[in-house]
Amino acid sequence: MENGVSDNGVCSSESVNGGQDVWSSKESDSLSADHLVVMVNGIMGSSTDWRYAAEQFVKRLPDKVFVHCSERNVSKLTLDGVDVMGDRLAEEILEVIQRKPNLRKISFVAHSVGGLVARYAIGKLYRPPETEQLEAPSTNGQPQESSGTIGGLEPVNFVTVATPHLGSRGNKQVPFLFGLTAIEKIASLIIHWILRRTGEHLFMTDDDGGKPPLVQRMIEDQGEYYFMSALKSFKRRVVYSNVDYDHFVGWRTSSIRRINELPKWEDAVNEKYPHIVYEERCKGTDSEKIEPTSAEVSYPARLEEELVTGLSRLSWEKVDVSFHKSRQRLAAHSIIQVKDHTAHIEGADVIDHIIDHFQT
């Protein structure tokens, strides 16, 4: 699919900054599509990382979705930090909404650290429901429920793919460090040399004026940043996780689970999705306050427990993926999003699963 040219019913345009809009070539479909799907890349990525998925979304849901593959955080810009990237993404989304006045709904599909960036951005874009709207009676005489808006749009799906929601610090969260405590400690000390500010956020070694690590702060609303209220406002929250062979993001951190909560899995649970090996729906807990863990537990373990507890206050759909039979299994972190439509096409069933369960 070339820039602006229709291919199998799909059109696209590319901005000077590299972002891509993808929509149906049929005018009646494009006019009725009122659901903005924002796709966010990971570290050292670009908008093209989601090209295959974007095209599939429009082919399958031509009169429903308008897809925007984010452009503001690409290549070395992905090393500037989750907060800086989140602010950029929020600004970019508002610009898209401004030039597409027919949009009514919004969803996110984000890969790797892009999931954290998207969480930061929605925290900035969230607006609480207006008091007048809450007090207005519905047709059945009961007060209407409203969960607020994201950039003025109705939030629907928040989907992350191989995102380190619990960070990457210690406790075997980054598989290529082999789970060796000594190596993990060294990594946390030098990561800022490699991944700069983003590395500090992922390994939770950042200290902005004595504040807790950013990833830890993002499990609560913080001033004008409604991190948890924004996440709660979505009708669906979904995490797709590699159970093995993802050398950058471990299974626990991407699936928001404690080690004793990791399920036993076998082969595919559905022939249509040969690489989906486990699915579950987790209800949100009733805990309003996060209880501190014992001081005898290591700092990384305490942080992880706090993050799991905080995020588990919301309901999640959890989808576990394995490419253990694939020749390209060592590239699982890229296959799961079909980063390259040729080399990583084995992950196509994961994209199908995302679309088949997508609420429009």
Strand-pairing partners, residue 127, are 149
- Angstrom distance (rounded) from CA 13 to CA 48: 12
Mean pLDDT of 210-235: 96
Report if residue 216 sits inside a domain: yes
pLDDT on residue 186: 47
Over the stretch 131-188, which tens digit does the pLDDT of each residue have?
A: 445 445 554 544 444 579 999 999 999 999 999 999 976 555 444 343 435 444 544 5
DSSP structure string for 332-346: HHHHTTTSSTTTTGG
Report if residue 137 sits inside a domain: no
pLDDT on residue 75: 87
pLDDT on residue 143: 43
Over the stretch 230-271, which tens digit does the pLDDT of each residue have?
A: 999 999 999 999 999 998 899 999 999 999 999 999 887 889
Report if residue 139 sits inside a domain: no
**237: phi then psi, degrees, rounded to nearest 5:** -125, 125
- Angstrom distance (rounded) from CA 93 to CA 98: 9
Assess whether pLDDT exceeds 50 at residue 356. yes
What's the domain range around 96? 3-128+146-355
Report if residue 201 sits inside a domain: yes
Name the H helices within the chain.
Answer: 27-32, 51-60, 82-99, 114-125, 131-135, 181-202, 214-217, 227-233, 251-255, 299-311, 332-335, 348-356
Report if residue 167 sits inside a domain: yes
- Angstrom distance (rounded) from CA 245 to CA 328: 10
pLDDT on residue 189: 44
> Please, which pLDDT band fits residue 301 given cuts at 50, 70 and 90?
confident
- Tally the domains of the chain: 1
Residues 6+ apart with CB under 8 A from 360: 35, 61, 64, 65, 105, 156
DSSP structure string for 235-301: SEEEEEEESSS-SSS-HHHHHT--GGGPPP--S-SBTTBTTEEEEEEEPPP---SPPPPPTTS-HHH
> Please, which pLDDT band fits residue 98 given cuts at 50, 70 and 90?
very high
Report if residue 133 sits inside a domain: no
> Please, which pLDDT band fits residue 305 given cuts at 50, 70 and 90?
very high
- Angstrom distance (rounded) from CA 235 to CA 225: 20
Mean pLDDT of 47-75: 96
Assess whether pLDDT exceeds 90 at residue 223. yes
Report if residue 337 sits inside a domain: yes
pTM: 0.89
Report if residue 290 sits inside a domain: yes
Mean pLDDT of 17-33: 90
User: Distance of alpha carbon 265 from its chain centroid, rounded?
Assistant: 23
- CATH classification at residue 53: 3.40.50.1820
